[in-house]
């Protein structure tokens, strides 16, 4: 873990020093056990990935996979995604942010706990560079509607076709969780935005 986590988690990250190179940078929020993280990093070895997760068990599983597969372009942070965005990520520094299957908090009284609220999406937009991508996926219809509404309302983002030419790949592997959701009749919604604001230029 010390080889793959920041030494000073309360200071802005020097990602060039951390990864040992200057490369496009992606932040994955809520990586879970890292199935998508690992597969997408292997498909894009030219991209550096920071995976953020609260739960130690998920990070441990991803760390084991990184070691087993000898993957060099993934780093890990255990913590709250908003804290990471606010304190560790510089404005205009990210080529992409991935948020796959965030907790939908399905009860109405808990909707305020959902991650992708206007303030968080605005923070993500600020951290994206020009042409950077926000890619979200959910199998909860109500949350999909909310994410779409919030993303479309952010003036620095423009909804784009996932099949178009983008700064990073938006092709995800299918996880065990997703297979279970589809078997239960759930439909996965993919939402992709691109940063179109000059204010995001580093």
Query: Known catalytic residue: 103?
Result: yes
Using alpha carbons only, how large is the chain's radius of gyration in Å?
16
Q: Tell me what percent of the chain is helix, strand and coil, each rounded to the nearest 5.
A: 35, 20, 40
CB 40 within 8 A of CB 100: no
Q: What is the DSSP letter of 92?
A: T
Calpha distance 123→99 (Å, rounded): 14
Q: Would you put residue 101 in left (φ > 0), alpha (ψ -120 to 50) or beta? A: left
Point out the catalytic residue in the list 103, 126, 152, 183.
Answer: 103
Residue 79: phi and psi, rounded to 5, are 165, -175
**Bridge partner residues of 100 (DSSP):** 137
* Integer Cα distance of 187 and 140 in angstroms: 8
State CA 97 to chain mean position distance: 4
Cβ–Cβ contacts within 10 Å for residue 63, how many? 18
What is the distance between the alpha carbons of residues 27 and 126, in angstroms, rounded to a whole number? 13
* Residue numbers annotated as active site: 103
């Amino acid at each position: 873990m010390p080889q793959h986590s920041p030494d000073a988690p309360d200071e802005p990250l020097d990602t060039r020093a951390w990864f040992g190179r200057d490369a496009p940078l992606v932040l994955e929020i809520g990586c879970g056990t890292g199935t998508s993280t690992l597969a997408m990093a292997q498909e894009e070895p030219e991209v550096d990935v920071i995976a953020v997760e609260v739960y130690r068990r998920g990070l441990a599983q991803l760390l084991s996979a990184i070691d087993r597969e000898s993957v060099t372009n993934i780093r890990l942070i255990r913590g709250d995604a908003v804290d990471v965005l606010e304190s560790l990520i510089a404005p205009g520094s990210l080529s992409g942010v991935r948020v796959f299957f965030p907790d939908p908090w399905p009860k109405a009284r808990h909707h305020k706990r959902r991650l992708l609220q206007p303030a968080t999406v605005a923070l993500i937009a600020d951290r994206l560079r020009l042409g950077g991508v926000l890619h979200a996926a959910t199998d909860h219809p109500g949350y999909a509607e909310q994410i779409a509404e919030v993303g479309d309302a952010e003036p620095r983002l423009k909804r784009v076709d996932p099949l178009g030419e983008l700064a990073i790949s938006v092709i995800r592997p299918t996880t065990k969780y997703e297979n279970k959701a589809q078997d239960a009749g759930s439909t996965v919604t993919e939402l992709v935005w691109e940063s179109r604001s000059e204010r995001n230029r580093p």
